[in-house]
DNA sequence: AGATTTTGTTTCATAATGTGCAACAGCGCC
DNA sequence: GGCGCTGTTGCACATTATGAAACAAAATCT
């Protein structure tokens, strides 16, 4: 299997591209569409959209809602989505450790990867506490202002971080959000040096979070785990505790994935 | 939105159909393919497959493995798959009850729907016991010889059951498997009358299972829950207990989904 | 190490097929 | 009960997907 190919021209099948584009129009906030609605949104012709939908429906990639007659994402996507191998293995390995972590700290736990320069939640364990975080498996969050995101960015080559900044920008969410590229780079260096990231209201005012990276057997950071709490006052000692807990967890998961270096006792000492 | 359309001719976009077919070639057992391999399996031409893969890769519906260069299902499918609305809501509502059920019985819990006449696992809570069942969210199991499947079939119109039998057959797995259509129909009538199904080694010798249906607000059975145990000896009293527990759970979930009838105390009394 | 097979990539001509247009048909809404 | 919406269908045309064949990079075998 030759890997080093130039991949010169792009041989894309247009109708397929349209179909895939169509599928991506569906979001958690807008889970269903009619034919005309989709057509105008995507700038495609009504009949094109109609035929694409019929095709996708035939294979259960979309399905019609019985009552409204509108189209939604279909069960086949659920089936295929749960087969995405690398995430599947990651989740499987991580699960028991995340459950243990959840029990030990009683807070909400997230497992996430970086995709398109954004945080993509891969697993979530909810805190039994009444106040819940607005997040969901399969959803995305910005990287530059979340604990998970900063950890995942920290182990990327700086030029890739720049590319992500160029593409996604550094939107300000609170007065704590880092919006200066230089400062972000400096901060990421600190995260890398420490081996963990914290977030104290950089994305949402009351959210506090401690996050640490997961390495795979090749020594690459492939995911991150976070503990999220909601708190009015900032308690440094509690944060230290959470940092210690996540790092312990991610060290174990990394070990299970075959990671075998640098993970000395020293790096776990707080 | 007109619903009652005849849907006469099928306006399928062939290249899209091929792309979808291609995606479905990936299974848990064969998660990655090369171009040529896929082409021969699907009976498509090498260049066609190549271009389809390039297109799918561009939108992250497939991705290449860094080391082998082969193609796997991509992260976009994971993202879209976790947005499939009806399953998402079902899972969300059911989760807490399933967790409670898991704690109360200490066994493996499954949540499943019927698709293509098969059981499709939608959620799974693993027992802490060392011996694990071979099942996974997103995978499928036959309907005629599993507790979940029999519950889901039981509330279908008989002609639909026949259609499923015609399509999928009634494969024998053990000497307990029901392979006669007539006997299956009779058995399903019993399941419907009782409001639950059991499975004592119909699919796999040592597997015992108790399952009950979930109704939605329209009064339709949309899913089923099961408790699975592994046991050498059959203990009727333990089974009665499990049946009671699942039924309690599914009654609660159905209520949360807005189901409001027939679910009298009587039907819960054992 | 060299020869051979295999696998992925590219080009190109041709015919297939996806597309836009325009018309039609249910459905809901005033 | 008519008006406007949305989904559906037929058709002609040109776009574009496709298969065949050639090429290149790996992998495999000798």
Lookup result for tokens 């889970």: A31
3-state secondary structure of A237: helix
- Write the CATH number of the domain with boundaries B85-268: 3.30.450.40
- In DSSP terms, which residues pair with B123 in a beta bridge? B111
Task: Return the higher-pLDDT residue of A263 and A217.
Answer: A217
Judging contacts by C-beta atoms under 8 Å, the chain B residues touching residue A77 are 77, 80-81, 83-84
Q: Which residue out of B4, B23, B83 would a mutagenesis test of the A interface target, given it has the greatest number of A Cβ atoms within 10 Å? A: B83
Judging contacts by C-beta atoms under 8 Å, the chain A residues touching residue B87 are 75, 78
pLDDT at res. A93: 94
Q: Which nucleotide comes closest to A13 if you measure CA to C1'?
A: D17
pLDDT at res. A260: 85
Q: Do B120 and A17 touch (CB under 8 A)?
A: no
The set of long-range contacts for B251-254, using a CB threshold of 8 Å and a minimum separation of 24, is B252/B97, B253/B93, B253/B94, B253/B97, B253/B214, B253/B225, B254/B213, B254/B214, B254/B215, B254/B216
pLDDT at res. A265: 40
Minimum mean pLDDT among B35-49, B200-214, B237-251: which range?
B35-49
- Name the residue facing A73 among B3, B32, B84 (closest C-beta): B84
Distance A2 CA to C5 C1' (A): 14
Task: Say yes or no: domain A14-74 is CATH 3.40.50.720.
Answer: no
Q: What is the DSSP letter of B221?
A: E
Give the E-state strand segments of chain A in sequence order: 62-64, 71-73, 108-115, 118-125, 140-142, 197-200, 207-215, 221-230
Our CA-based measurement puts residue A183 at a distance from the nearest CA of chain B, in whole angstroms, of 30
Angle between helices B158-168 and B181-194 (to 10 degrees): 130
For the segment A152-173, what is each residue's pLDDT rounded down to a tens digit? 999 999 999 999 999 999 999 9
Task: Give dist(CA B199, CA B176) in Å, integer.
Answer: 9
pLDDT at res. B267: 44
pLDDT at res. A4: 36
Has residue A247 got a pLDDT over 80? yes
Q: What is the DSSP letter of B33?
A: B
In A106-157, which residue ranges form alpha helices assigned H by DSSP?
147-154
Structure confidence at residue B174 as a pLDDT band (50, 70, 90): very high
Contact A55, B13 (CB under 8 A): yes
3-state secondary structure of B125: strand
Judging contacts by C-beta atoms under 8 Å, the chain B residues touching residue A51 are 11-13
Q: Do A72 and B50 touch (CB under 8 A)?
A: no
For the segment A215-246, what is each residue's pLDDT rounded down to a tens digit? 998 889 999 999 999 877 778 889 999 999 99
Q: Do B84 and A69 touch (CB under 8 A)?
A: no
Task: Give dist(CA B3, CA A263) in Å, integer.
Answer: 60
Structure confidence at residue B133 as a pLDDT band (50, 70, 90): confident
Contact A84, B77 (CB under 8 A): yes
Question: Residue B108 half-sphere exposure, CB side, CA atoms within 13 Å?
Answer: 21
The full set of domain ranges for chain B reads 14-80, 85-268
pLDDT > 90 in chain B, percent? 71
pLDDT at res. B134: 82
Backbone Cα Rg of chain A: 21
Structure confidence at residue A111 as a pLDDT band (50, 70, 90): very high
Chain B residue closest in CA terms to A23: B80
Our CA-based measurement puts residue B159 at a distance from the nearest CA of chain A, in whole angstroms, of 20
Q: Please provide the average confidence, as pLDDT, over all residues in chain B.
A: 89
Contact A167, A159 (CB under 8 A): no
Q: What is the mean pLDDT of residues A166-195?
A: 96
Structure confidence at residue A9 as a pLDDT band (50, 70, 90): low
Sign of the C-alpha dihedral computed for residues A83, A86, A87 and A89 taken in this order: positive
Task: Return the higher-pLDDT residue of A8 and A184.
Answer: A184
For the segment A51-87, what is each residue's pLDDT rounded down to a tens digit? 999 999 999 999 988 788 899 999 999 999 999 978 8
Q: Which residue out of B77, B90, B136 would a mutagenesis test of the A interface target, given it has the greatest number of A Cβ atoms within 10 Å? A: B77
A66 touches strand C (CB under 7 A): no
Question: Residue A201 half-sphere exposure, CB side, CA atoms within 13 Å?
Answer: 9
Lookup result for tokens 């998660």: B31
CATH class of the domain defined by B14-80: mainly alpha
Q: What is the mean pLDDT of residues B183-199?
A: 97
pLDDT > 70 in chain B, percent? 93
Structure confidence at residue B113 as a pLDDT band (50, 70, 90): very high
Residues 6+ apart with CB under 8 A from B75: A84, A87, A113, A115, A120, B60, B63
For the segment B146-156, what is each residue's pLDDT rounded down to a tens digit? 999 999 999 99
């Amino acid at each position: 299997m030759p890997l080093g190919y130039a991949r010169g021209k792009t041989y894309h099948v247009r109708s397929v591209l349209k179909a895939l584009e169509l599928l991506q129009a569906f979001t958690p906030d807008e889970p269903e569409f009619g034919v005309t609605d989709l057509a105008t949104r995507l700038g495609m012709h009504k009949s094109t959209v109609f035929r694409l939908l019929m095709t996708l429906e035939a294979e259960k990639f979309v399905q019609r809602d019985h009552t409204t007659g509108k189209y939604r994402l279909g069960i086949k996507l659920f089936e295929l989505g749960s087969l995405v191998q690398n995430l599947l293995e990651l989740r499987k390995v991580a699960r028991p450790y995340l459950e243990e972590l959840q029990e030990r700290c009683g807070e909400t736990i997230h497992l996430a990867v970086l995709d398109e320069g954004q945080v993509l939640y891969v697993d979530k364990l909810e805190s039994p506490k009444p106040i819940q975080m607005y997040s969901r498996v399969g959803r995305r969050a910005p990287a530059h202002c979340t604990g998970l995101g900063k950890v995942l960015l920290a182990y990327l080559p700086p030029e890739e971080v720049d590319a992500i900044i160029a593409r996604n920008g550094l939107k300000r969410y609170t007065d704590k959000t880092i919006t200066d590229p230089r400062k972000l780079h400096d901060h990421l260096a600190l995260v890398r040096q420490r081996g963990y990231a914290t977030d104290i209201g950089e994305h949402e005012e009351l959210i506090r979070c401690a996050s640490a990276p997961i390495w795979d057997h090749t020594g690459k950071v492939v995911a991150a785990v976070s503990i999220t709490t909601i708190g009015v006052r900032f308690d440094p000692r509690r944060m230290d505790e959470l940092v210690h807990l996540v790092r312990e967890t991610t060290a174990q998961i990394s070990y299970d994935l075959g990671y075998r270096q640098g993970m000395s006792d020293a790096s776990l000492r707080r």
